[in-house]
Amino acid sequence: MQRLSGKRALVTGASSGIGAATAHLLAREGADVALLARGERGLAQVARRVHDEGASAITIAADVADRNALGQAVEQAAERLGGLDIVVVSAAASAFGTFREMPARDFDRCIAVAFGGAVDTIRAVLPHLEQTGGRLVVIGSAADVIPLPLLSPYVAAKHALTGFVRVLAAELRATNSAVTVSTIRPGAVDTPFLRHLTQPDGLRPPLIPPLVSYTADSVARAAVACAIRPRPSVCIGGSTLLLQAVSSAARPLLDRGVQRIARYWLDHAKPERAPNALWEPSGDGSLSGGQKGRPSVYAALRLARFRPRAGV
């Protein structure tokens, strides 16, 4: 049974990774989907997967950091779908390197995409979700409590996003709004995100994969589960919970580990060409970044009754 049959969804960052996987699963559950991202090539790939599930797909090329273009894109999606019942905020990008060496424009661009773009998306979609009593699902990150070395603007953006979403949820409850807000907080995820990091000189080092990373499908299934039955927050990965516990109970230990990771990356990296994904479209429809991610057993158990069917 398709549990979202007849629902109308909008997904940002839909041209690759978590956004692409979420769009596919929403379609599998019966929702028609508006796909929003900068790159038309990746959007076309994801739209084909949505169509293969028998759902309608609308592709809209827009930069979430461009407030006017984003607002027009949201209105276009709502008009063409006939309204919005579900919105998944997934767009993100980051610069890579030490804060001292990172150009200010790259730092600011990351904040504009990962935080400002999310806030502006939510501002634009709320009136539509208010009309339908809809579901808002925000893809956050465990980086809001776990410091990631050499990714300072991304960590800052996720900290800010978590705080903003918590305040928004409280305000909506206080005004008896029917809109629900859910945050998905994954740890390391195997997506093209790491391959698309922008370094100050236009190159990037080959990154050492994390010890444990999870599939984009694991995060997408949690996002769609919250569209089916909302819950305030879902953490992806038992290892993520462990790191959060260490961060709270033994912060000096975690900080030393983070320092060693940063030192290793800086000492052993060899530059290679990479797309400047902060400033140029990079999504090609792919879900994986080649890090051999695995499903999250913890998330699967927690969402057992409401998780969507696998298959992406």
pLDDT digits (tens, 9 = 90+) for 289-308: 565 554 555 456 556 555 55
Sign of the alpha-carbon torsion through 177, 230, 63, 166? positive
What digits encode the pLDDT tens for the residues 234-269? 888 655 566 665 556 666 766 676 677 677 666 666
Euclidean distance between CA atoms 189 and 140, whole angstroms:
12
Query: Which amino acid is located at 238 in the chain?
Result: G
pLDDT at 97: 83
Q: Give the pLDDT band of residue 86 (cuts 50, 70, 90).
A: very high
Our measurement of the distance from residue 34's CA atom to the centroid of its chain's CA atoms, rounded to an integer in Å, reads: 16
pTM: 0.87
At 185 the three-state DSSP class reads strand
Per-position b or e across 8-33, b if 16+ CB within 10 A of its CB: bbbbbbbbbbbbbbbbbbbbbbbbbb
Residue 213 reports pLDDT greater than 90: no
* Residue 236 φ/ψ region, left for φ over 0, alpha for ψ in the -120 to 50 degree band, beta for the rest: beta
Asked if the model's pLDDT at residue 144 lies above 90, the reply is no
Q: Of 154, 214, 264, 298, which is the active-site residue?
A: 154
Say yes or no to pLDDT of 196 above 90: no
Q: What is the pLDDT of residue 300?
A: 60
The model's confidence at residue 143, banded by pLDDT at 50, 70 and 90, is confident
Mean pLDDT value across residues 92-105: 88
Domains of the chain: 8-302 (3.40.50.720)
Residue 214: beta bridge partners? Answer: 189, 294
* Percent of the chain residues topping a pLDDT of 90: 56
- Average pLDDT for 205-225: 77
Find the helix or strand (DSSP H, E) in which 58 lies.
strand 57-61
* pLDDT tens, residue by residue, 67-77: 999 999 999 99
Residue 122 has pLDDT above 90, yes or no: yes
Select the more confidently predicted residue: 100 or 273: 100
pLDDT greater than 70 at residue 211: no
| Average pLDDT score, the chain | 84
Whether 224 contacts 274, CB under 8 Å: no
Residue 2 pLDDT grade (very low, low, confident, very high; cuts 50, 70, 90): confident
214 given a catalytic annotation:
no
The arithmetic mean of pLDDT across residues 132-159, rounded, is: 90
Strands of 90-232 (E only): list them: 135-139, 180-186, 189-190, 203-204, 214-215
pLDDT-based confidence at 125, cuts 50/70/90?
very high
Per-residue pLDDT at 250: 65
With vertex at residue 20, the alpha carbon angle to CA 308 and CA 280, rounded to the nearest 5 degrees, is 165
